[in-house]
Structures are given as C-alpha cells and as structure tokens.
Structure 1
C-alpha cells in the first residue's frame, strides 16, 4: 500500500528525553547550579513546564525561535531570583553544542529502519531546528536511511499545519494515498497527518488515552512496526 514513509525524529527515533536529560545533568554540574536550585530535579521541573508552554507559543507563531531559546533557559534562573541573561546565554550555547552529539535511540529504532529501508522510501519530517537535527542523525548513525529531511525551518510552518505535510509530499514527489506518517506526538504528527488525509501510525510510548479518533495504526514499541508494514 505504501511507498513513502515520513517519520518524526525526536522521541520517535532519536531518544530526545533521555539525551536531553543527560545533557541537562552535565550542564547543571558544569555551571554549579546547585548554588541556585534545591536539586537537579527542582531545576528540571521548572525548565520543563515553561519549555512546553513556549514550544506551543512557537508552534502557533507567537514567538520566534530566538525568543523561545532565550526564555526557556532564562526562566528557571529567574524563578529562583537569578536574573543573569549572560549566564543563561552561556548555558544555552553549551547545551546546544552538546545535545546533538548524544546518540541514544529509542529501542528497536535501527532494527526497524533496517527493515523499512529495504521496502520503502524513508523521509524525516520534524519540527526540530536545522542546525541540530542533521547532527543528531549523524551522531546516532541513522542519516543514511533517509532520502530527504523535511524540517519546519524549511518553510517556517510546523506540524500539525497542513502546509508542511503538503510540502513534504510535493518535495519528495510522494502521493498522498501511498504515504504514511509515523510519530509520537498525537497533535503534531497524527492529527496533522489525518488533517490532509494521510495514514498515520501513532507511537504511543507514553500510554496516552482518550484519543479524539482512531489512528490508522497504533504501536507501543517500534518493534510492532515489523509485524504491520
């Protein structure tokens, strides 16, 4: 049925949560943030809450990429009374230089890519930043599986908006009825793909319930892909 498969990168293949957690831990020690926070978890909880809010604002076009990055690293410091923009900027620069060198993938990612690459054309479709995504793929050894990488940075439109899905189809010369989107984000990947009539495979590793519709496929492990496609 399918010829083209579009796959999200962060937390679908590349283990963003684990790689980010490791990087934040390294930066916390390097910058002696125990001076300001009760614990690493205290810092990380503050960061994550505000980061999620800012990504929604960025996706809706309410803030720029620069504002997103400035605010998400400054917020935890300001929350504990440290208004040091220079410190936040040094921390941010260091973080972004380290995180794309991390290589942890989700379980079975390479096995699945080995399998899929023998049968389908594979493409990355991601909301991530261009300066990071290619390095992440190189560091984790998965670049060679993909014909093309389509990023929201390319057209300044993010998943789930239909423009980026239509751009992905046209730029890869893929037909809608022969294409499938695989991703872990219900809103960005699955709702977005369904919005243009593309089949979807929801990688529900978070155990999300009460879905607004039944996706074409739903998996809890990438290994399940092998028995479906």
Structure 2
C-alpha cells in the first residue's frame, strides 16, 4: 500500500505522556508536601488515575466540560482522603500544567523514525489533547517541525474515535482516505476510530494488549518497525 499521509496520535505514541506526566505529578506532589495527606506518592497517583480515566469517558460522552474535568480530577484525590480544600487542588493543577509541557521525553525511536519519515510523507498529528498543551509539548521535545498540521479534538468539539473527527482531519489536510494511515497507541480512540471510517491503522501496542475485536492493518511493538513498513 502506497501512503502519502501519516496521522500520528501524540500522547504515548510520539511524546512519552505516561512517563512525563508521572514525573511531573511526583515533582508537584513533593513541592506541596502531600505526604502529609497520602500514604505515598503511589497512593495519590492511583486515586488520581482512577478518577481521571472515568472523567475522560464522561468528557467524551459530553457529560462534563473540559473545565469540570480538570477541576474534578485534581480535587478528587484530596477529597478521597478527607481534604476538602478545593483552592489547594487548583493551585496544584496550575503548577502541574505549567510544568508538564516543558517535559521533553519521547517514546523510544520517535525522533529517529520521524527523521526517516518526514522527507517521504506528509506527517500530521491527530490528538484528543488540549491545544494549550500539545503545541508546547511538541516544541519542548523538538518534534514540532516534523508535522505539517496539528488537528485536535477541540477543533471540532468531538473526540476520537468519532468518525466526524477523522473526516475533519482528512478534509483539513486535503488527504485522501485510501492514501492515509493512522498510527496510535489507543485501541479505542486511534485504531477503532480509523477502522470505522475505512482508514488503515498501525496499532502501537505499548500496553501489550492481547485481545483484538479485529486485526489492525499493522501491529507494532516499536515505532522503529515503521521504518521497515514504510
């Protein structure tokens, strides 16, 4: 298959979100001496991640706004240990959002692969992340220059895997469906979404998923495999 357009997810596909986020959370947790409230950082982070996952589902379904998502996910861990200080949670979140886009950690081989692909293909970002963070993260990590356009769910008010977002991305980049490939780590958002509109997909299986409702076009365990496929 001859592709012209490669659509990449950003977080945990190119930019090492899980590692960068955990590092930032731990930094701010220490700064705020949260050991006075929690048994350990892992205790705090487990509480945060549980509610954060639930809230992103609610956000995708239109049940909460972006502002409410951000308010609740930072306040919930404190509430869970009996600390009702919402102003403290807000200060914590502001410091977190100030620090995280300065992190430059990338997924293994990301820069090497982008260097290889950029002269051969049109590279785009298609992400559910927030605009005020994504461009800063890409610049901090030194990868912004590889991409011709950044398409974000906020542009349309819908999240992947909604088909409208994929059609919007194709239209915004003047890309033909049959000449395009979606590359991402989220089975639900990236692979199911692309498959639903008939776009080929490369599943970057960082979570070591073993159950598949359908076979993706390509199954990657390392981004480096793209250099052999493309």
Check if 1:29 corresponds to 2:30: yes
Question: Which segments of 5 or more consecutive residues in structure 1 lack a partner in the other structure?
Answer: none
Q: CA deviation at 1:218?
A: 0.5
Q: Classify the secondary structure of the residue corresponding to 2:10.
A: coil
Q: CA deviation at 1:62?
A: 1.0
Residue of structure 1 equivalent to 2:75? 74
Check if 1:185 corresponds to 2:213: no
Residue of structure 2 equivalent to 1:149? 150
Please, what TM-score do these two structures have when normalized by structure 2?
0.99
Please show how residues 1-229 of structure 1 align to structure 2 within 5 Å. 1-229=2-230
**What's the C-alpha RMSD, in Å, of the aligned pairs?**
0.5
Please, what TM-score do these two structures have when normalized by structure 1?
0.99
Cα distance in 1 between the residues matched to 2:214 and 2:175:
25
Q: CA deviation at 1:58?
A: 0.6
Cα distance in 1 between the residues matched to 2:212 and 2:69:
29
Cα distance in 2 between the residues matched to 1:58 and 1:108:
32
Q: CA deviation at 1:87?
A: 0.2
Cα distance in 2 between the residues matched to 1:215 and 1:11:
18
Count how many residue pairs are aligned between Structure 1 and Structure 2: 229
Q: CA deviation at 1:60?
A: 1.3
Q: CA deviation at 1:118?
A: 1.3
Q: CA deviation at 1:50?
A: 0.7
Q: CA deviation at 1:205?
A: 1.4
Q: Deviations over 1:22-73 (max 9, x none)?
A: 1001011110100100000000000011101111111111110001000000
